[in-house]
Every structure is written in C-alpha cells, then in structure tokens.
Amino acid sequence: MSDDIPFDKSFDLPPGRVEEVRPGVRRLLCNNPSPFTFKGTVSYIVGNGQVAIIDPGPLDETHIVALLDAVRGETVTHLFITHTHRDHSPAAARIKAATGASTFGAGPHRPARPLNVGEAPRLEASSDHEFRPDIMLADEDVVTGADWALEAVTTPGHTANHMAFALRGTDVLFSGDHVMAWSTPVVAPPDGAMSDYMASLEKLLRRAETIYFPGHGGAVRDAPSFVESYIRHRRSREQSILHQLAKGASDIPTLVRAIYIGLDPRLTRAAGLSVLAHLEDLVARGLVLTDGLPSADGVYRCRDDF
C-alpha cells in the first residue's frame, strides 16, 4: 500500500548546479544516483557570506570541488551532518580541511541495538565509521551562525544518530533521510530501528515546520500531512506482515515476496531488512513470537490469541 503516500519524484536539478531554494538556502546535487540515493545526495548551503553546509556528501571529487566553488569568496564556518552514511558525511573531512569549519552532529556511527551473537552489521558498506563531529549536538541544541540559527532535532530510526535541523525563524526543516518526498527511507537493523523511526515521525508531527529539504530529491511540501501518510504507510505494512503471518508465512523471504509486489530486485535485501525491522518491533510489543532474538533467518508466528 505504498500508493497511499503522495510521493513527489519531480527533481530536475542537474549535478553541480547551485540553486537557491529560499533566501539564504542553496542546494547542490552530487552525481551519485542509485536505487537508495535517487538522483544523488543533496548538500545544502545555509546563510550568506559566513555559511554552514549540511551534508557535504560522499567522497566524490567533483562534488567536493563544486561545493567549494559554490562558496568561493565566502567563509564556511559550520558543517552539519544528518547521519553517518557514506553518501552524507565522508566529504566533511575534506571540506573541513579546506575551510577550517567545525563539524556538528549527533555523534559517531553506532547501531540502534547491540549486535546479536554471530550478527554482522548488514549495511556495513553504507556506514561511515570515520566521522566524529567536533561538537556533539543534543536534541533542541541551537547553533547560531552569522545570519542563521539551526536547531538540532534528534530523529533516530534510519540510523541511531540521525539528526534533522530546523532553520530558526522559517518554516524549513532539513530532514536528511528521515523524511523524503521521493521515497520512504530504509530502516534496517541493527543500524536502524522501527520503533525509533515511528517515534521520530510522531515527533516531527508535533513541530511547526511545513517544508522539508531532504538529503535526496526535492522538497517535501505540506510536510505534516506527508509525515502522517508515512506513518499510515508503515502501519499498513505492519498489518500486511501480521496478515501474512496469520495466513502461514513464517520467514522473511516469504513475507518479502508476498508484500513487495514488483520490487526492484536490487532492493530485495533492503526490503528483507525492513521486514526484519517491523518484526523486531512486533516481537518487542508481544504481537509476534519467534525463538530467541529476532533475526534475518528466524521463524515467526502470530501470537495465538492475536
């Protein structure tokens, strides 16, 4: 039931072109398209003259040069990181070395829960374990620049250290990979956790910002109702899982085949991890049973009296 989300895949910014999307907010697309990154990573430049960069992106020479070109004649004072995936944070070290800016974020990469015995972090290749912010931010911390102020909004779920940033005095929130107009994010244990992700969506619903600028693709307009549709989508996915378990499905590959009709084969593994994320949450809530800890090759069943 992914069609209940009003996705907006219109986004024709060519890589390398700087575009001002709001007074004092520019964006620049990196040329790293993929099924996970859509057209690529979007870096944001906030302010004029003395600026912040949000998510400098992957270690992509062309993009790093384009970012530095975009701020030529200005001073980069701050680098903000929404989360430590390789398409968002690795260029921070290079931009910091070139500009002297300090880095800000929720902390180094960490899993959402301890690894189970014999379990390897499955999306390991996508995580940036090098990045450590100069300044660790906590929820509601406000960082003030020359002509801007950004409020840290902890939004764990996609990763444990995911952080969105609200541009004070405006209706703008930089949502990273937590909320995106083109797709839902991957929520994959042990890096991510479904219960955290849902709580972070509910948290955004209580905020006033109405337009989100995400780490991939174009702006999320009418953000509160879009976030509601995200929540409805995950609840409906959860119902589908419970329904399939009640019909006799008992393992993750069977659930993925039954639920994700027409899935891009490159996304099968991610879909399996997303189902595992739901199952972890359902087991924790006592709605689904499994032997031992929820795992990718576990056998699952609905609680009898459910």
The DSSP secondary-structure symbol of 62 reads H
Position with the least CB separation from Zn ion: 85
Contact letters for Zn ion, residues 75-94 (x by CB under 5 A): ----------x---------
The DSSP result for 107-174, as a single string, is -S---SSPPPTT---TTGGGB--S---SEE--TT-EEE-SS-EEEEEE--SSSTT-EEEEETTSSEEE
> What is the enclosing helix (H) or strand (E) of 288?
strand 288-290
Contact letters for Zn ion, residues 28-67 (x by CB under 5 A): ----------------------------------------
Q: How many residues bind Zn ion (CB under 5 A)?
A: 2
Tell whether residue 177 is a contact of Zn ion (CB under 5 A).
Answer: yes
Question: Shortest distance, CB of residue 234 to Zn ion, whole angstroms?
Answer: 17
- Look up residue 211 and give its amino acid: I
Residue entry with tokens 């955004």: 204
Question: Shortest distance, CB of residue 147 to Zn ion, whole angstroms?
Answer: 29
Considering the complex, state which of residue 177 and residue 280 has its C-beta at the smaller distance from Zn ion.
Answer: 177
Question: Shortest distance, CB of residue 16 to Zn ion, whole angstroms?
Answer: 22
The token pair at 139 is 């929820």
Tell whether residue 281 is a contact of Zn ion (CB under 5 A).
Answer: no
Binders in 96-135 for Zn ion, by CB under 5 A: none
Question: Shortest distance, CB of residue 177 to Zn ion, whole angstroms?
Answer: 4
Question: Shortest distance, CB of residue 261 to Zn ion, whole angstroms?
Answer: 25
Considering the complex, state which of residue 53 and residue 71 has its C-beta at the smaller distance from Zn ion.
Answer: 53
The DSSP secondary-structure symbol of 194 reads H
Residue entry with tokens 């390398």: 16
How far, in Å, CA of 87 to CA of 55, rounded? 9
b/e map of 150-172 (b: 16 or more CB within 10 Å)?
bbbbbbbbbbbbbbbbbbeebeb
Considering the complex, state which of residue 151 and residue 177 has its C-beta at the smaller distance from Zn ion.
Answer: 177
Considering the complex, state which of residue 129 and residue 285 has its C-beta at the smaller distance from Zn ion.
Answer: 129
Question: Shortest distance, CB of residue 85 to Zn ion, whole angstroms?
Answer: 3
Binding residues (CB under 5 A) for Zn ion: these are 85, 177
